Amino acid sequence: MEIHIIQGDITQIECDAIVNAANNSLLGGGGVDGAIHRQAGKELLEECRTLHGCATGDAKVTKGYRLSARYVIHTVGPVYRDGQHDEAKLLKSCYKKCLEKAEAYQCHHIAFPSISTGAYRYPTSQAAQIAMETIEQFEAHYVQRVDIVCFDDYTYRTYCQLLKKNNKSAYD
């Protein structure tokens, strides 16, 4: 599986599925969640209402509607408190559950944001380490490419340094 680090807008990535760093209600919010809902259109919100929310660390799938991605995989990352409240376990679960959903929907290409590092305050370097380890250890059958789409420069540089340190070189 190839891993690519990209700086940009996840709503503009052409792939089979994009991951939405959602809140528990799945009814939209700020950051990545708000951008995905705005781009996808009101049909996404209507479908999300039928899902009755999502637990932290879990994932649920909807259609992509007006996005270029066929699917949106919604996951709820942990709010970082102090690292002593299962935050790492829950964040790892987010990535794993999303990859499992991508496999179930036979997706070859999936794009992730940096889950929990914005409003949920997870330290970027720790979150990046968990993301990369979880993705690299996942046994994929369908998923061939994973993009990690970073909104800002700091997050992009953090993921690129980690990828380079792990002797990988696929960053755009």
Catalytic site positions:
33
Cα(88)–Cα(69) distance, integer angstroms: 28
Handedness of CA 47, 53, 57, 58 (dihedral sign): negative
CA-to-CA distance for 12 and 101, rounded, in angstroms? Answer: 21
Mapping DSSP to helix (H, G, I), strand (E, B) and coil, where does residue 36 land? helix
Cite the beta strand spans of the chain per DSSP E.
2-7, 17-21, 59-63, 71-75, 109-112, 145-150
